Structure 1
Amino acid sequence: MYLERLALILETVGQKEEATVAEICHHTELPKPSAYRLVQELVGAGLLEPVARGRFALGSRLKRIVRSDHSDAALIEVVSPTLRQAAAAHGAAFFLSRQRGRAVEIIHVETPDTGVSFLHPGLGKRPLHACSCSKAVAAFSPDLLASKTLAGQLRAYTEFTLTRVEDLKAELDVIRQRGYAECLEEIERGMCSVAAPLSDTGPGATMSIGATGSTRVFTPDVRARLGTALSSMAQELSHHLSGAVGNGAPAMAAAPEAGA
């Protein structure tokens, strides 16, 4: 009964595009107190979202769930050729990440044949405050951090990790302005990375691509050029994923040699 009521509310809002609690009650015959409580639960879960005073629409989380063309397998199929080309060209590891629930995970990595570059610690979740892939997503997905009480939860992995909420918020502002994020020895000494979201809105804001290498190779100039190049690559990939370009994988935007 509980799940059926939730489904009725989602169906009603989805069919009307937007609905008030009163409209939901009219179409579902739910009592107003029950409808209001269930709507608030759905908003808290990201399945509904307020779009105007008293009006609700389907939430971004639900939209991501039903976008089958954005499954891991579909994403990797489109993105991996571009990352593979970049890894071979620059002798560095390139990765694809996406938001998974309230975390960000690296779901695919392409490494060069030289074997001199690696991604540590491999696939899986990354701290929201200490990795470029996570910060690139968090900067453009405010709901990712909005539900979390950050104070006291920003673990220090190295002496360079941001552990103050004010510092993290300031860095996210910088990321939004320049379009890409950096991680400078924040999770492991001697290692750094650069990442850009696939877009600053929509499903692409929950995904990022990036590159990682040693601080010796990824100098400030190299990171800046890679950040710009990754932003261009991300834009092309975003257009491709949304069907705005042809069926082939997009060409990789020109980027500097990692050791330049």
Structure 2
Amino acid sequence: MSNGEQKTNGRAPREGSEAPGGVQSVDRAVSVLEILAREGSAGVSDVAAEIGVHKSTAFRLLAALEERDLVEQNSERGKYQLGFGVLRLASAIPARLDIVRQAQPVLEDLAQRFDETINLAVVREHYAVNVQQALGSAAVASQNWVGQLTPLHATSSGKILLAYMSEERLDSVLDAAGLKPYTEHTLTSRKVLMGQLAQARQEGFATAFEELETGLNAAAVPVRDHTGAVVGAVSASGPAYRFDKARIESIAADFKAAGERISQRMGWLG
């Protein structure tokens, strides 16, 4: 092989394979999708600034993704959000996840009994990602949370996932994520958050009162695998006027039992 030839993972490039510039375009396109998943929506200038390209390049990336239905323009002029094409791709993932298969019947039972939105979340880097959802008859179904990345410190499922991390990983995740305020009720004090995480470990239960969205309350319990490690969190959420502290306290025992049922289906014998 001449000095001018390159290898990728120890293999020579195949004939007709992508040039480095093509790989860079793919990397940038994926970055755009991650930005929209994290922020909800963003304009061309926002995307360009975050990935470090000219606005014309960002526009071309968004246009290409829009053509594939992976992004779409929302009602706010000039803003883009994830399109339904992403949901089409994401829908292939839950069927491969054992935790989703084991949790599904329990999630549906909880949705029917509590009449609220039930979500199953796992950790991805320094976010919680919702991998399955079930809706009760009274659930506010204005948003499909499946595939959504949510902040760990501002959600009940996120607090559960944080609570059972090792001290080293917890520090690393919080350092990377920060404590961004989403509402006036979001926890922005690390000391206060650590206190809530200790309580969540003790009680096996976490809550979030209007901390991610004004008017939205939630509660969550852990899901364990066969080793006893917490690998997910099940949350119930609903409007603050209905899913209030008293309502959450009234379902706490049943909710914890449901988390244990999923854990047992995952092989946990504790």
Q: Shift of residue 76 of structure 1?
A: 1.6
| Aligned position for 1:232 | 257
Match of 1:134 in 2: 158
Structure 2 residues without counterparts, runs of 5 or longer: 1-8, 11-93
Q: How far 1:199 sits from its partner (Å)? A: 3.6
One-letter identity of the residue aligned with 1:167: V
Identify which range, 139-148 or 76-85, moves more after superposition: 139-148
CA–CA distance in 1 between the matches of 2:212 and 2:248?
Answer: 17
Question: 1:183: Cα distance to partner?
Answer: 0.8
Q: 1:146 to 1:116 in 2, by over 3 A?
A: closer
Does 1:79 pair with 2:103? yes
Partner of 2:140: 117
Match of 1:10 in 2: none
Match of 1:106 in 2: 130
1:1-260 pair list within 5 angstroms: 72-112=96-136, 114=137, 116-118=139-141, 120=143, 122-123=145-146, 124-142=148-166, 143-148=168-173, 150=175, 153-199=178-224, 202=227, 204-242=229-267
**How many percent of aligned residue pairs carry the same amino acid?**
22
Distance 1:233 1:119 in 2: 25
Tell me how large the CA RMSD over aligned residues is: 2.9
Offset at residue 77 of structure 1 (A): 1.7
State the partner residue of 1:257. none
Aligned match of 2:86: none
TM-score (norm 1): 0.60
Alpha-carbon distance in 2 for matches of 1:201, 1:75: 11
> For residues 207 and 243 of structure 1, do their structure 2 counterparts lie closer, same or farther at Cα, with a shift above 3 Å needed?
closer
Question: How far 1:132 moved relative to its partner?
Answer: 0.4
Distance in 2, Cα, partners of 1:94 & 1:168: 23
- Once residues 141 and 80 of structure 1 are traced to their aligned partners in structure 2, the CA distance between those partners, rounded to angstroms, is 24
Per the normalisation by structure 2, the TM-score is 0.58
Q: Deviations over 1:151-172 (max 9, x none)?
A: 9921000000000111111111
Uncovered stretches (5+) of structure 1, i.e. residues with no partner: 5-69, 245-260
Counterpart of 1:39 in structure 2 is none
Residue identity in the other structure for 1:100? R
Q: 1:152 to 1:74 in 2, by over 3 A?
A: closer
Report the CA distance shift for 1:152/1:138 in structure 2 as closer, same or farther (over 3 A). Answer: closer
Moved over 6 A (4+): none
Asked if the contact 2:223–2:262 (Cα under 8 Å) also holds between the matched residues in 1, the reply is yes
Cα distance change, pair 184–119 in 1 and its aligned pair in 2 (3 A): farther
